Amino acid sequence: MEITVSQEQARVPVTVVALSGNLDSASAPAVQKRVEELIAGGAPDILLDLRAVPYMSSAGLRALTQIYNHLRGGEDLHAVSAGVSAGTYHSPHLKLLGPRPRVMDTLRMSGFDMFLDIHAHLKDALAAF
Amino acid sequence: MATEGHRRRVFEGSLEQLAAIRTFVNEAVSELGGGEEDKFACELACDEAAANIYNHAFQGARGKVSVELWREGKMLVVQLNYQGRAFDPSRVPEPDLEAPLDERPSGGLGMYFMRQLMSQVDFDFDALEGNCLTMRRALAA
Protein backbone atom coordinates (compact mmCIF):
# COMPACT_ATOMS: atom_id res chain seq x y z
CA MET A 1 0.00 0.00 0.00
CA GLU A 2 1.39 3.38 -1.02
CA ILE A 3 0.27 6.42 0.98
CA THR A 4 0.79 9.86 -0.54
CA VAL A 5 -0.03 13.01 1.41
CA SER A 6 -0.63 16.44 -0.11
CA GLN A 7 -2.33 19.68 0.83
CA GLU A 8 -5.17 21.46 -0.97
CA GLN A 9 -6.70 24.80 -0.16
CA ALA A 10 -10.51 24.79 -0.06
CA ARG A 11 -12.54 26.99 2.29
CA VAL A 12 -10.28 25.34 4.85
CA PRO A 13 -6.90 23.66 4.33
CA VAL A 14 -7.54 20.02 3.39
CA THR A 15 -5.05 17.18 3.82
CA VAL A 16 -5.41 14.74 0.92
CA VAL A 17 -4.32 11.18 1.67
CA ALA A 18 -4.10 9.17 -1.56
CA LEU A 19 -3.98 5.40 -1.17
CA SER A 20 -2.78 2.99 -3.81
CA GLY A 21 -3.29 -0.73 -3.32
CA ASN A 22 -5.68 -3.11 -1.58
CA LEU A 23 -7.04 -2.04 1.79
CA ASP A 24 -7.19 -5.26 3.84
CA SER A 25 -6.13 -6.56 7.26
CA ALA A 26 -2.49 -6.51 6.19
CA SER A 27 -2.47 -2.87 5.04
CA ALA A 28 -5.21 -1.08 7.00
CA PRO A 29 -3.28 -0.65 10.30
CA ALA A 30 -0.51 1.30 8.53
CA VAL A 31 -3.07 3.55 6.82
CA GLN A 32 -4.86 4.21 10.11
CA LYS A 33 -1.57 4.94 11.88
CA ARG A 34 -0.43 7.36 9.16
CA VAL A 35 -3.71 9.29 9.18
CA GLU A 36 -3.78 9.39 12.99
CA GLU A 37 -0.28 10.89 12.89
CA LEU A 38 -1.52 13.57 10.49
CA ILE A 39 -4.48 14.34 12.75
CA ALA A 40 -2.21 14.52 15.80
CA GLY A 41 0.03 16.85 13.82
CA GLY A 42 -2.84 19.29 13.30
CA ALA A 43 -4.77 18.12 10.22
CA PRO A 44 -8.47 18.56 11.12
CA ASP A 45 -9.90 17.96 7.62
CA ILE A 46 -8.98 14.85 5.65
CA LEU A 47 -9.88 13.71 2.15
CA LEU A 48 -9.13 10.03 1.60
CA ASP A 49 -8.48 9.44 -2.09
CA LEU A 50 -9.60 5.88 -2.86
CA ARG A 51 -9.40 6.08 -6.66
CA ALA A 52 -6.46 3.64 -6.74
CA VAL A 53 -7.89 1.20 -4.19
CA PRO A 54 -9.38 -1.78 -6.07
CA TYR A 55 -10.42 -3.72 -2.97
CA MET A 56 -11.43 -3.03 0.63
CA SER A 57 -12.36 -5.51 3.36
CA SER A 58 -13.87 -4.88 6.81
CA ALA A 59 -10.37 -4.01 8.05
CA GLY A 60 -10.52 -0.91 5.86
CA LEU A 61 -13.89 -0.03 7.33
CA ARG A 62 -12.53 -0.38 10.87
CA ALA A 63 -9.74 2.04 9.96
CA LEU A 64 -12.31 4.47 8.53
CA THR A 65 -14.32 4.21 11.76
CA GLN A 66 -11.31 5.09 13.89
CA ILE A 67 -10.29 7.98 11.63
CA TYR A 68 -13.86 9.31 11.59
CA ASN A 69 -14.05 9.17 15.38
CA HIS A 70 -10.73 11.01 15.73
CA LEU A 71 -11.98 13.77 13.45
CA ARG A 72 -15.54 14.01 14.75
CA GLY A 73 -14.62 16.57 17.39
CA GLY A 74 -17.45 18.25 19.20
CA GLU A 75 -20.32 17.22 16.94
CA ASP A 76 -23.62 16.80 18.76
CA LEU A 77 -24.35 13.04 18.63
CA HIS A 78 -28.12 13.56 18.62
CA ALA A 79 -27.80 15.93 15.69
CA VAL A 80 -25.56 13.41 13.88
CA SER A 81 -28.10 10.60 14.40
CA ALA A 82 -30.98 12.80 13.28
CA GLY A 83 -29.01 13.89 10.21
CA VAL A 84 -28.15 10.30 9.28
CA SER A 85 -31.79 9.25 9.64
CA ALA A 86 -32.91 12.16 7.49
CA GLY A 87 -30.18 11.50 4.91
CA THR A 88 -28.78 15.01 5.39
CA TYR A 89 -25.60 14.20 7.35
CA HIS A 90 -22.29 14.58 5.53
CA SER A 91 -19.23 13.83 7.66
CA PRO A 92 -17.76 17.34 7.85
CA HIS A 93 -14.11 16.51 8.53
CA LEU A 94 -13.61 13.20 6.67
CA LYS A 95 -14.59 12.71 3.04
CA LEU A 96 -13.91 9.94 0.52
CA LEU A 97 -12.92 10.44 -3.09
CA GLY A 98 -13.70 8.11 -5.97
CA PRO A 99 -14.27 4.66 -4.48
CA ARG A 100 -14.32 2.01 -7.23
CA PRO A 101 -17.47 -0.13 -7.67
CA ARG A 102 -16.33 -3.03 -5.45
CA VAL A 103 -15.17 -0.67 -2.72
CA MET A 104 -18.49 1.15 -3.00
CA ASP A 105 -20.27 -2.23 -2.62
CA THR A 106 -18.41 -2.73 0.67
CA LEU A 107 -19.29 0.78 1.88
CA ARG A 108 -22.96 0.28 1.00
CA MET A 109 -23.21 -3.24 2.45
CA SER A 110 -21.96 -1.94 5.80
CA GLY A 111 -24.07 1.22 5.73
CA PHE A 112 -20.96 3.43 5.84
CA ASP A 113 -22.23 5.39 2.85
CA MET A 114 -24.91 6.78 5.18
CA PHE A 115 -22.27 8.45 7.39
CA LEU A 116 -19.38 9.25 5.16
CA ASP A 117 -19.48 11.98 2.54
CA ILE A 118 -18.43 10.39 -0.77
CA HIS A 119 -17.56 12.26 -3.97
CA ALA A 120 -16.61 11.12 -7.47
CA HIS A 121 -14.53 14.20 -8.36
CA LEU A 122 -11.73 16.02 -6.52
CA LYS A 123 -13.20 19.45 -7.16
CA ASP A 124 -16.55 18.50 -5.63
CA ALA A 125 -14.90 16.77 -2.68
CA LEU A 126 -12.82 19.84 -1.84
CA ALA A 127 -15.80 22.16 -2.23
CA ALA A 128 -17.72 20.05 0.30
CA PHE A 129 -15.36 20.93 3.18
CA MET B 1 -24.70 -34.50 -3.66
CA ALA B 2 -21.84 -35.18 -6.08
CA THR B 3 -18.89 -32.86 -5.81
CA GLU B 4 -16.64 -31.78 -8.67
CA GLY B 5 -13.73 -29.61 -9.62
CA HIS B 6 -11.82 -29.63 -6.34
CA ARG B 7 -9.09 -27.00 -6.11
CA ARG B 8 -6.91 -26.78 -3.03
CA ARG B 9 -3.91 -24.76 -1.91
CA VAL B 10 -2.15 -24.36 1.42
CA PHE B 11 -1.09 -20.90 2.53
CA GLU B 12 1.59 -20.59 5.18
CA GLY B 13 2.36 -17.35 6.91
CA SER B 14 0.22 -14.59 8.31
CA LEU B 15 -1.82 -11.63 7.10
CA GLU B 16 0.53 -11.00 4.17
CA GLN B 17 -1.00 -14.17 2.63
CA LEU B 18 -4.40 -12.53 2.21
CA ALA B 19 -3.65 -11.15 -1.26
CA ALA B 20 -2.50 -14.58 -2.49
CA ILE B 21 -5.59 -16.22 -0.97
CA ARG B 22 -7.87 -13.73 -2.74
CA THR B 23 -6.14 -14.36 -6.08
CA PHE B 24 -6.44 -18.15 -5.66
CA VAL B 25 -10.13 -17.92 -4.73
CA ASN B 26 -10.89 -15.52 -7.57
CA GLU B 27 -9.31 -17.83 -10.16
CA ALA B 28 -10.85 -20.99 -8.69
CA VAL B 29 -14.37 -19.51 -8.65
CA SER B 30 -13.95 -18.47 -12.27
CA GLU B 31 -12.76 -21.96 -13.24
CA LEU B 32 -15.74 -23.45 -11.39
CA GLY B 33 -18.18 -21.39 -13.45
CA GLY B 34 -18.79 -18.44 -11.15
CA GLY B 35 -19.39 -14.93 -12.48
CA GLU B 36 -18.19 -11.54 -11.27
CA GLU B 37 -20.65 -11.42 -8.34
CA ASP B 38 -19.61 -14.90 -7.22
CA LYS B 39 -15.92 -14.03 -7.46
CA PHE B 40 -16.36 -10.86 -5.41
CA ALA B 41 -18.50 -12.64 -2.80
CA CYS B 42 -16.17 -15.62 -2.33
CA GLU B 43 -13.05 -13.46 -2.40
CA LEU B 44 -14.32 -11.09 0.29
CA ALA B 45 -15.85 -13.85 2.44
CA CYS B 46 -12.64 -15.89 2.27
CA ASP B 47 -10.47 -12.84 3.02
CA GLU B 48 -12.58 -12.02 6.08
CA ALA B 49 -12.48 -15.63 7.30
CA ALA B 50 -8.72 -15.93 6.78
CA ALA B 51 -8.04 -12.58 8.48
CA ASN B 52 -10.04 -13.76 11.50
CA ILE B 53 -8.11 -17.04 11.53
CA TYR B 54 -4.72 -15.32 11.37
CA ASN B 55 -5.72 -12.83 14.06
CA HIS B 56 -7.64 -15.10 16.44
CA ALA B 57 -6.77 -18.77 15.83
CA PHE B 58 -3.05 -18.13 15.26
CA GLN B 59 -3.08 -14.99 17.44
CA GLY B 60 -0.71 -13.15 15.15
CA ALA B 61 1.77 -16.03 14.79
CA ARG B 62 2.47 -17.80 11.50
CA GLY B 63 0.25 -20.73 10.62
CA LYS B 64 -1.08 -22.87 7.77
CA VAL B 65 -4.50 -22.44 6.21
CA SER B 66 -5.74 -24.87 3.61
CA VAL B 67 -8.23 -23.29 1.19
CA GLU B 68 -10.32 -25.66 -0.93
CA LEU B 69 -13.13 -24.91 -3.39
CA TRP B 70 -15.47 -27.18 -5.28
CA ARG B 71 -18.92 -27.39 -6.88
CA GLU B 72 -21.96 -29.20 -5.53
CA GLY B 73 -24.52 -28.80 -8.32
CA LYS B 74 -25.35 -25.08 -8.45
CA MET B 75 -23.59 -24.48 -5.14
CA LEU B 76 -20.03 -23.22 -4.76
CA VAL B 77 -18.29 -24.49 -1.65
CA VAL B 78 -15.30 -22.78 -0.02
CA GLN B 79 -13.65 -24.60 2.87
CA LEU B 80 -10.85 -23.44 5.14
CA ASN B 81 -9.00 -25.95 7.34
CA TYR B 82 -6.56 -24.78 9.98
CA GLN B 83 -4.94 -25.81 13.21
CA GLY B 84 -4.45 -23.51 16.16
CA ARG B 85 -6.80 -22.25 18.79
CA ALA B 86 -10.39 -23.37 18.25
CA PHE B 87 -11.99 -20.30 16.76
CA ASP B 88 -15.44 -20.21 15.25
CA PRO B 89 -15.81 -17.01 13.23
CA SER B 90 -19.55 -17.58 13.01
CA ARG B 91 -19.85 -16.92 16.77
CA VAL B 92 -18.56 -13.38 16.43
CA PRO B 93 -21.55 -11.11 17.10
CA GLU B 94 -22.71 -9.00 14.20
CA PRO B 95 -22.45 -5.24 14.49
CA ASP B 96 -25.43 -2.94 14.82
CA LEU B 97 -25.31 -1.15 11.48
CA GLU B 98 -28.00 1.26 12.61
CA ALA B 99 -25.77 2.59 15.39
CA PRO B 100 -23.69 5.75 14.87
CA LEU B 101 -20.10 5.05 13.87
CA ASP B 102 -18.66 6.15 17.20
CA GLU B 103 -20.82 3.63 19.07
CA ARG B 104 -20.06 0.62 16.89
CA PRO B 105 -17.84 -2.19 18.14
CA SER B 106 -14.62 -2.57 16.18
CA GLY B 107 -15.25 -6.23 15.30
CA GLY B 108 -17.99 -8.28 13.70
CA LEU B 109 -18.15 -6.67 10.27
CA GLY B 110 -16.14 -9.47 8.70
CA MET B 111 -18.61 -12.08 9.91
CA TYR B 112 -21.47 -9.87 8.78
CA PHE B 113 -20.00 -9.80 5.26
CA MET B 114 -19.51 -13.58 5.26
CA ARG B 115 -23.17 -14.10 6.18
CA GLN B 116 -24.40 -11.51 3.69
CA LEU B 117 -22.37 -12.86 0.79
CA MET B 118 -22.62 -16.61 1.36
CA SER B 119 -25.75 -18.76 1.57
CA GLN B 120 -24.49 -20.86 4.48
CA VAL B 121 -21.58 -20.70 6.95
CA ASP B 122 -20.71 -23.74 9.10
CA PHE B 123 -17.91 -24.42 11.56
CA ASP B 124 -16.57 -27.73 12.88
CA PHE B 125 -13.80 -28.47 15.35
CA ASP B 126 -12.09 -31.80 15.81
CA ALA B 127 -9.28 -32.28 18.33
CA LEU B 128 -7.21 -34.17 15.71
CA GLU B 129 -8.32 -32.60 12.45
CA GLY B 130 -8.47 -29.05 13.77
CA ASN B 131 -10.82 -26.26 12.66
CA CYS B 132 -12.97 -26.46 9.55
CA LEU B 133 -14.96 -23.51 8.22
CA THR B 134 -17.26 -24.29 5.29
CA MET B 135 -19.10 -21.61 3.32
CA ARG B 136 -21.59 -22.31 0.54
CA ARG B 137 -22.92 -19.92 -2.05
CA ALA B 138 -25.68 -20.51 -4.57
CA LEU B 139 -24.23 -19.41 -7.90
CA ALA B 140 -25.61 -16.13 -9.19
CA ALA B 141 -27.96 -16.63 -12.13
Residue of B nearest to A82 (CA): B100
Q: How many CB atoms are located within 10 Å of the residue B93 CB?
A: 10
- Which residues does residue B78 pair with via DSSP β-bridges, in sequence order? B69, B135
Contacts of A26 in chain B (CB under 8 A): 15-16, 18-19
Is B112 within 8 Å of A58 when comparing Cβ atoms? yes
Is B26 within 8 Å of chain A by CB?
no
Gap between the Cα atoms of A47 and B94, Å rounded? 29
A19-67 pLDDT per residue, tens: 999 999 999 999 999 999 999 999 999 999 999 999 999 999 999 999 9
Is A61 within 8 Å of B55 when comparing Cβ atoms? no
Contacts of A110 in chain B (CB under 8 A): 97, 109, 112-113
Contacts of A80 in chain B (CB under 8 A): 100
Contact A60, A28 (CB under 8 A): yes
B35-64 pLDDT per residue, tens: 999 999 999 999 999 998 998 888 878 899
Distance from CA of A106 to the nearest CA of B (A): 9
Contacts of A56 in chain B (CB under 8 A): none
pLDDT number for residue B15: 93
Query: What phi and psi values does residue B59 have, to the nearest 5 degrees?
Result: 50, 45
DSSP state of B94: P
pLDDT number for residue B105: 58
Distance from CA of A101 to the nearest CA of B (A): 11
- Which residues does residue A54 pair with via DSSP β-bridges, in sequence order? none
Gap between the Cα atoms of A20 and A17, Å rounded? 10
Gap between the Cα atoms of B134 and B124, Å rounded? 8
pLDDT number for residue B65: 95
Report the mean per-residue pLDDT for chain A. 93
Is B97 within 8 Å of A110 when comparing Cβ atoms? yes
pLDDT number for residue A115: 83
Torsion of CA A104, A85, B96, A64, to 10 degrees: 40
B71-126 pLDDT per residue, tens: 999 999 999 999 888 777 667 777 776 666 566 656 688 889 999 999 999 988 88
On whether the pTM is more than 0.95, the answer is no
Strand stretches in B31-92, DSSP E? 63-72, 75-82
pLDDT number for residue B102: 61
Is A124 within 8 Å of chain B by CB?
no
pLDDT at B16 over 90: yes
Contacts of A63 in chain B (CB under 8 A): none
pLDDT number for residue B84: 82
pLDDT number for residue B90: 65
Is A25 within 8 Å of chain B by CB?
yes
Between residues A89 and B73, the one the model is more confident about: B73
Is A86 within 8 Å of chain B by CB?
no
